[in-house]
Structure 1
């Protein structure tokens, strides 16, 4: 009796452990899959229906007939080993549909859904009752916790390793079941045993070939690289790839075609974090300066040209404000940069002799800006690699405690747009009030935002800034004039200039010294008066009535900015596919709308 009881207890414990292992493995796979396709589809489109696919596949597995455990393990192991390839190639071809809903959904259906289905089937095969309890407890949804762990440990680039490891575990268990079953069969024989062992080993050999053979590997770079990598099929060079907080931070270059053929996109060095293009500059023959002045160089002496995005230069118009005492005297002593990117604005402030403090959440972004984009050393105690919300709050506490080391800033550039949206916690009224405390009473802040003017998110950003600072003026970065219809239908960059000063904001005309020998700066800063966007052009006029304004003022307790930005994230994704060739989309996942910046404003360049 005691032996039977112990055996039953051991069987129950083994079943429980097996089901928990399957659940944990599935959550691990889903987390790795999610982070592997986000660079192609961006976070919002990727996650839109991912949960629906998981739940639908789970429900389907509960009601369909089950294969044997060994067959499920064999199929599951093969699916997992193929995941680095299927997630890449199916994702690449699905992306060519240029649909932010169906493209990721197709990828989920062909890559994620089969793994979920067979994983749940395996759990049900072990113990249907216990599996249902585990599923009901939502054990399959450990993704948020695992994603947090991945981010904290910078494991995003290890997705292929996770796929391979899970696949090998499944095939190893499959082999053990087959061998153990052969030993305990009713008619064991040496021939049957050899056949069983061979059948068990073949999948493991397949796994080794798939993982180790360069010709069979997934074309994605799965590990950090420090030596340049050149694509054998496209004029693309990856200078650096680093696992970090915001994903895999990549510095790459699109080179001129080796055969001299015409292509609309080349001679660009860019900085990317996961799906987000953080900025870039022209290189090679596209480098040109006013008066043939020596160009900026990176740490290796390579010449760097203008920014590929004009919005970063438009932010520098904060120096042109002349309605404040500092502005009239040209005495901007301290600047704060929140969101570094490639460091275009930070470098400009340094060249103008302004002491600049940088707050950037990702250390790899800062390192890339210093090494590959010519960012000068900001000096000791001027770089803070952390989330801006906590940093600004701690600085406010220092100011209120009258700490002599607490600096009040004359100008602030706030540029946190990334991958189709902005972090909502950096756009709430509480954040702006904290920031206003560390701003000089006559200081000016430049806030970059991208979207449609008619959108709720654009209205919310402006309404919240006006509530916090009292006055703002908005400008766009387009090279050519924009019609009223385009304002409301096109995805555009807007820079809001705001100040708590009681004096209405005015800007002086730009002069030669403001251009820093840059054709792009000359074009953008000298045409500032033609770029202004009136408040009434941003959304419905009713926003400015007291009855409806409360809907749009963002607070920590009531902040729907991320929800409002979903549609714009889809629009941003589609724009990227329209502007970038398919081949460079697959290799780079670059951003949109930058080629015209140099061509239009630099057409007089030698």
Structure 2
């Protein structure tokens, strides 16, 4: 599915990868489930119902909904905020969410709204995690990457809650450094993971240019929290029978970027 110059997402339609995302970086947002010493990971480990445990997530920017799938599979209630109603309608029509863990409908509430305004008017400590992925039309809305917006996201997170932020660019450029610096001004703990083309340099050093002759443009997913984040290794159960998700969850830890 496209929006302007951006390919918002797509899935394979045949073969062993059928149903998997064509971009493995979307699965990096699954790692909220892997953070040790958090309620969500404890519920996953103990086989508890996240909804009954009061666990809830917020997703800002829907795309085709890939990042929501792991949480729907796990039974986590989600508030999903998408600015563009047409994107939301098309995604729900052509890339529907899976059923919940017991075959029940996805526990997701959709909001057509501005993500920044949504968090501004949300009461504090509402969510265990927030997924922030608003790249569209070849750019990102600058208002979604300010200190004020990240501060509101920290406010709506429960203590120790985690925020993941997708950013498209180059690790050595000013825009990347600005996002990293702004996140670190709000959250004491920030880590970053790259989705890299084969042979590219995850740290974006200009001296190491891939064989294509192009610079290292990539998806980078930041994780931020008020408490340290210790990610457990992914297990078979975390993949939900997805080959691409299995690959992505293991690749993520190999592609951590030094900040």
Larger RCO: Structure 1 or Structure 2 (Cα < 8 Å, ≥ 6 residues apart)? 2
- The structural deviation recorded for 1:468 is 0.8
Gaps of 5+ in 2: 99-104, 207-214
Which residue is equivalent to 1:499? 225
Once residues 59 and 37 of structure 2 are traced to their aligned partners in structure 1, the CA distance between those partners, rounded to angstroms, is 22
Q: Give the corresponding residue for 1:349.
A: 71
How big is each residue's C-alpha offset from its partner over 1:161-192, in whole Å with a ceiling of 9 and x where there is no partner?
xxxxxxxxxxxxxxxxxxxxxxxxxxxxxxxx
Q: Which has the larger radius of gyration?
A: 1
Counterpart in the other structure of 1:508: 232
- What CA distance in whole angstroms lies between the structure 2 residues aligned with 1:437 and 1:408? 9
TM-score for the superposition, normalised by structure 2: 0.84
**Aligned pairs (5 A) from 1:98-177:** none
In 2: Cα distance, 1:370 partner to 1:443 partner: 28
Provide the rounded CA distance (Å) in 2 between the counterparts of 1:479 and 1:352.
30
Query: Contact (CA 8 Å) 2:171, 2:203: kept in 1 or not?
Result: no
Q: How does 1:90-105 map to 2 (within 5 A)?
A: none
Report the CA distance shift for 1:487/1:524 in structure 2 as closer, same or farther (over 3 A). Answer: farther
CA contact (8 A) 2:194 2:202 kept: no
Matched, 1:275 2:28: no
Match of 1:476 among 194, 201, 216: 194
Distance (whole Å) between structure 2 residues aligned to residue 426 and residue 383 of structure 1: 19
CA shift for structure 1 position 484:
6.5
**5+ unaligned residues in a row in structure 1: which ranges?**
1-270, 290-303, 400-406, 536-606
CA 1:281–1:354: 2 relative to 1, 3 Å: same
Whole-Å separation in 2 of the counterparts to 1:490 and 1:483:
6
SS in 2 for 1:417: coil
CA–CA separation in structure 1 for the residues paired with 2:126 and 2:199: 37
CA contact (8 A) 1:369 1:375 kept: no
Tell me, in whole angstroms, the C-alpha distance in 2 between the residues paired with 1:495 and 1:485. Answer: 13
Separation in 1 of the partners of 2:2 and 2:57?
25
CA contact (8 A) 2:203 2:257 kept: no
Q: Which has the higher strand share?
A: 2
What's 1:363 paired with? 85
Hey, what's the Cα distance between the residues in 1 that align with 2:137 and 2:174? Answer: 18
Match status 1:308 vs 2:38: no
| d(CA) in 1 for partners of 2:229, 2:199 | 23
How far apart in 2 are the matches of 1:472 and 1:369? Answer: 31
Q: Provide the secondary structure at the position in 2 that maps to 1:433.
A: helix
Cα distance in 2 between the residues matched to 1:344 and 1:357:
15
- C-alpha distance in structure 1 between counterparts of 2:82 and 2:73, whole Å: 20
Q: CA deviation at 1:419?
A: 2.9
Q: 1:369-518 maps to which residues of 2 (within 5 A)?
A: 369-376=91-98, 378-379=106-107, 382-395=109-122, 398-399=123-124, 408-478=126-196, 480=198, 482-483=200-201, 486-488=204-206, 489-501=215-227, 504-518=228-242
CA RMSD of aligned residues (A): 2.1
Task: State how far apart, in whole Å, the 2-side matches of 1:485 and 1:273 are.
Answer: 28
Provide the aligned length of Structure 1 versus Structure 2: 237
Whole-angstrom distance in 2 between the partners of 1:421 and 1:433? 22
CA distance in 2, matches of 1:449, 1:499: 17
* Separation in structure 2 between the aligned mates of residue 339 and residue 325 of structure 1, nearest angstrom: 24
Determine whether 1:339 maps to 2:61.
yes
Check the 8 A contact 2:75/2:107 in 1, yes or no: no
CA contact 2:82–2:112 (8 Å) conserved in 1: yes
Task: Give me the whole-angstrom Cα distance separating, in 1, the residues matched to 2:138 and 2:120.
Answer: 26
Give the superposition deviation at 1:323: 4.1
Q: Deviation digits for residues 214-251 of structure 1, max 9, x if unmatched?
A: xxxxxxxxxxxxxxxxxxxxxxxxxxxxxxxxxxxxxx
Cα 1:426–1:313 shift into 2, 3 Å: same
Q: Is the 8 A contact 2:75 2:106 kept in 1?
A: no
Residue 168 of structure 2 contacts residue 217 of structure 2 at CA under 8 Å; is this kept in 1?
A: yes
Tell me the equivalent position of 1:241.
none
Give distance in 1, aligned partners of 2:8 and 2:202: 28
- Higher percent of residues as helix: 1
- Paired residues for 1:3-402 under 5 Å: 271-283=1-13, 285-286=14-15, 288=16, 305-330=19-44, 333-376=55-98, 378-379=106-107, 382-395=109-122, 398-399=123-124
Q: What is aligned with 2:247?
A: 523
SS in 2 for 1:526: helix
* Distance change in 2, residues 1:364/1:346 (3 Å): same
| SS of match in other structure, 1:348 | helix
